[in-house]
């Protein structure tokens, strides 16, 4: 089937090709608002101060070693000990209902911690408590002088998810794909001979005459 034949085929079934994607997109849009709750993300940033650092000698400190310590601290944030300490401090059973994301740049000693959940104020409280607890644990188990908070997490005002526009767009494209597949499959299963050209192609002999359809 050539592209032109496909376009002609889709044109014959234009209602299906238009209606099915719209129905899928509408259904996904309604479902995303009804069944997918809003989520919020609060972020705090910290600076890792390694033992031996000072304002006057920070430039002479082995940056590579300091960055390795920073990466270790970043891993520590999501450890069971720190998350349990945070949960206990906030009188929570666990932090399983919240997503904790930690990012650490390779060229700096700055760590960013993001907490995502359905309750905006709780996300900010948990993020700030994590920063405090990781500082205490890092000083205890690592060669860290302190983990200083640069920006405290604030209560997010706008939701960070879910991405309903993306879900709706994906549903539209999926509906379009299914509609095209249905049209093509229906055409392939249709064994009726619809033109003289098809007869010549199937039998390999020329058509020498045609009988017009009789009207009753």
**pLDDT tens per residue, range 202-211:** 666 676 666 6
Angle at 140 between CA 86 and CA 110, to 5 degrees: 70
Q: DSSP secondary-structure letter at 107?
A: T
Would you call 84 helix, strand, or coil by DSSP?
helix
175, 188: one domain: yes
Would you call 163 helix, strand, or coil by DSSP?
coil
pLDDT digits (tens, 9 = 90+) for 96-131: 999 999 998 777 889 999 999 999 999 999 999 999
pLDDT digits (tens, 9 = 90+) for 20-32: 999 999 999 999 9
Q: Which residues of 27-37 are buried (b: 16+ CB within 10 A; e: fewer)?
A: ebbeebeeeee
What does pLDDT average to over the chain?
Answer: 85
Q: What pLDDT does 59 receive?
A: 47
Q: What pLDDT does 90 receive?
A: 94
Calpha distance 57→39 (Å, rounded): 43
69, 167: one domain: no
Residue 156 is assigned to a structural domain of this protein: no
Q: What pLDDT does 61 receive?
A: 46
Helices (H), the chain: 3-12, 14-35, 63-77, 80-89, 120-141, 164-189, 196-203
Domain C-terminal end among 113, 131, 151: 151
Domain C-terminal end among 151, 170, 194: 151
Whole-model pTM over 0.75 = no
Q: Are 19 and 13 in contact (CB under 8 A)?
A: no
27: containing domain: 3-35+162-203
Q: Are 155 and 42 in contact (CB under 8 A)?
A: yes
pLDDT digits (tens, 9 = 90+) for 40-93: 999 999 998 877 655 444 444 456 767 788 888 888 898 999 999 999 999 999
Domains in the chain, number:
2
Q: Measuring CA to CA, how many Å separate 86 from each of 97, 115, 136, 151, 197?
A: 13, 12, 11, 18, 76
Calpha distance 73→52 (Å, rounded): 17
> Per-residue pLDDT for 192 more than 70?
no
Share of the chain above pLDDT 90, in %: 52
Which of residues 140 and 200 earns the better pLDDT score?
140
């Amino acid at each position: 089937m050539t592209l032109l034949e496909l376009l002609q085929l889709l044109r014959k079934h234009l209602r299906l090709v238009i209606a099915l994607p719209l129905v899928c997109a509408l259904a996904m849009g309604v479902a995303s608002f009804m069944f997918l709750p809003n989520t919020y993300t609060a972020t705090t940033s910290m600076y890792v101060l390694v033992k031996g650092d000072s304002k006057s000698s920070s430039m002479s400190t082995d940056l590579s070693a300091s960055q390795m310590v920073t990466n270790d601290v970043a891993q520590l944030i999501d450890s069971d000990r720190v998350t349990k300490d945070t949960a206990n401090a906030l009188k929570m059973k666990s932090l399983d209902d919240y997503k904790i994301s930690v990012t650490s740049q390779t060229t700096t000693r700055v760590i960013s911690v993001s907490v995502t959940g359905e309750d905006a104020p709780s996300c900010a409280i948990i993020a700030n408590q994590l920063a405090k607890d990781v500082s205490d644990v890092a000083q205890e188990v690592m060669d860290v002088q302190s983990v200083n908070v640069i920006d405290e997490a604030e209560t997010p005002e706008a939701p960070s998810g879910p991405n309903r526009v993306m879900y709706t767009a994906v549903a539209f494209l999926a509906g379009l794909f299914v509609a095209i597949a249905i049209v093509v499959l229906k055409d392939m299963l249709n064994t009726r001979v619809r033109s003289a050209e098809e007869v010549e192609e199937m039998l390999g002999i020329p058509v020498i005459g045609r009988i017009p359809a009789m009207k009753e």
